[in-house]
Amino acid sequence: MIKEPLTEAERRAFDEQVDALEQVFQSVDAVSGTGGIQTCQGEMETVLQSRETGMLQPTAQTVENLAQGLADAIRQVSPIAEGTSQGYGLTTPAQAEEFIAGCRAAQERLQQLLDARGPVQE
């Protein structure tokens, strides 16, 4: 999808969204071994590239993929939080719980962005 260059107002709104998404994922990015977080990293790379060109905005699919990545990451790390597993660089249930809390905070922030944004145009 090719889009006309963004207007100044659209550009500011887009930058705010991207900044918010970046902040969200900084908290969980350290645990990059989970497939869910790898999905999120790939999506964020796409969003950041689109910011550089100013031609693309995060689409509904991008946001959906980010949300799914977070849900997957929580699912993948839950056994560590329960003390039944180790991995992804997390060695204690407390570390896993902290990671899951970060993912949940990211999910909330993503939902706030969606709510603030209104209907997404593809």
Range of the domain at 74: 9-116
Q: Is residue 17, in this structure, part of any structural domain at all?
A: yes
Q: Is residue 3, in this structure, part of any structural domain at all?
A: no
The string of pLDDT tens digits covering residues 34-74 is 666 777 777 777 777 776 766 556 667 777 888 888 888 88
Angle formed at CA 101 by CA 97 and CA 104, multiple of 5 degrees: 135
In this structure, which amino acid lies at residue 112? Q
What is the number of structural domains in the chain?
A: 1
25 secondary structure, DSSP code: H
pLDDT at 24 over 70: no
Neighbouring residues of 65: CB distance < 8 A, sequence distance ≥ 6:
39, 40, 43
At 26, the pLDDT band (50, 70, 90 cuts) reads low
Q: Is residue 1, in this structure, part of any structural domain at all?
A: no
At 42 the pLDDT is: 77
Q: What is the pTM of this model?
A: 0.66
Neighbouring residues of 25: CB distance < 8 A, sequence distance ≥ 6:
40, 41, 44, 106
pLDDT at 4 over 60: no
Q: Is residue 2, in this structure, part of any structural domain at all?
A: no
The string of pLDDT tens digits covering residues 86-115 is 777 777 888 888 888 888 888 887 777 777
